[in-house]
Structure 1
Amino acid sequence: MTTVTAPAPALARTLAYDAQDPHPLVARVARELGYADRVGTVVGLSSAREVLLTAGTAHDVDGLVRVGDVHQPRRRLLRALMDAPSALSVVAAVTVPWPWVWCTPEGFDAGPVRVRKTAYGDLAGYFTAEGIDCELVSDYLTATEMLAGLGERSVVLDADEVPAGLTRTRGVGDQAHPLSYGLISRLPAAEPDYCWLGLQPDADRPGSLNASLARLAAREVDLDFLFSDSVADRAHRFFLGFRADADTAAAVVADLRAEGSEVRVLGSFTLPDDEPV
């Protein structure tokens, strides 16, 4: 886990998450972010879209989503944030150790693997390379449902879901990277040092992006990512990520708006402790 600077007061708010990840995994992330792990405080919803919609309409609800690499976040997340209510942004980021454990019933070899779809997305490269057959099941099955009728199959569970009587199989995830999550909230970030922006130039014409980038260069801002996103009528918007404290980020936003660009702060947070500096 990483030490996280999260907005306060987290304990007075509800945390909504996409239930594609099992509750024990999300509970660990929630505790790291300062949310009480009790029924009614950490609530699973049917999709990341529902998480954003709920956080955007309920003033006492924050959202939790996977972000991928904070330096190269998922584009669909950036698009969703750009189109979400303007008060929402990623205000904290946390990484958690690789959660998936491959288990077999005692006395059996590792046979076909029962695995939730989202976990399979994290593990597909390994299972494909090893030629291992997988039975994909719904993300929303509980651990009890995952184990029902298991027979001679093996199963992938979250580390906190593994019951007695199963043997942990070596191999899967031995060299795996941690998972990264972002906290989406209306509350301001505490002591941010990293920023994601959404930018749509006033006029989509050759050279308009260069003018915007020149303003960032004048502030001595180095970009970690720059993504182009096509929208209607040949127009484009752009997603940018860079290291900056709150004052520098605010100055960059003011500079870009002064040239007539539409600018959204999509993320303003402290990098997790184990991120490279």
Structure 2
Amino acid sequence: MKSFLRAGTAIAGIAFAGSALAADLPRRAAPPPVFQPVPVFTWTGFYAGFNAGYGFGTGDDNNAPTVIGVNGLSGLVAPGGTAAIAFNNRRSDEGFVGGGQIGYNYQFTPGSGVVIGIEADAQYVDFGRDRNRFSVAPGSSPFLAGTQIFNPNGLSGLDFFGTVRGRLGYAFDRTLVYGTGGFAYGSGGGSDFGLPGGSSDDFRTGWAAGGGIEYALPTDSFLNFFKSSAVTLKVEGLYVNLDRGNRLNGAFGATPAGNLVYTNSPGVVLASGSVARQRETEFAVVRAGLNYKFGSY
């Protein structure tokens, strides 16, 4: 019995000593957390979006007025009567501008660095609403009912314009400052203020230049409806110059029967001014835009 007790005491002592040694041993360290690098933003990738803003003419709008005297031979006033009409020839390249754009950017160094790109846009414009204002001299004979009067100077607005431009800028992470310039085109204005058989819908070309600033929102922005790699907001200024040629546009009215009357017709006298179309349409646009970027983060 005593031998059994002594054996049990020895075993307990050994177990206690083993547990004490185990407590003194160093514990195995937990594995370090896996490092997740924060993605560096880059502007590289395709994008598409829309914009809206305001355009206003930058050319000289103080052109000499055009004054036309007509008598009964013209068919615009009663036989034997006379009338005088004056057009102020004031440009009206001013109004709403809106449309869309697509493009591609390439950033040489992610984060901060030089960005180059190309962009094409197409814009609706609401220009030329006041282009055909005129006045009739007091005491003149009234024009016949159904007579149509048009500005012979051919001042017309635009229905649309577009550009294809290069872009060069510098990115400060998610902020991009850039300049832009390239080819511009446009058309519209409708027929010459309703002139039957005469149209100023000629396609015009020119150039555009400007600059802007663009900022990329986080990927999880509430504006990211299309789950793109980024949503960007921009503010941009653009100058557009379109050559319109110098074609003459002599017709200025239509009789009640629909016959055209020209400034060189019998009974029509061009008292002052010019019938030459304005050579250029030049205007500036200030607009804000939103883009959805697809490609690298």
* TM-score, structure 1 normalization: 0.23
Higher alpha-carbon Rg: 2
Query: TM-score, with normalisation over the residues of structure 2?
Result: 0.22
Q: Which has the higher strand share?
A: 2
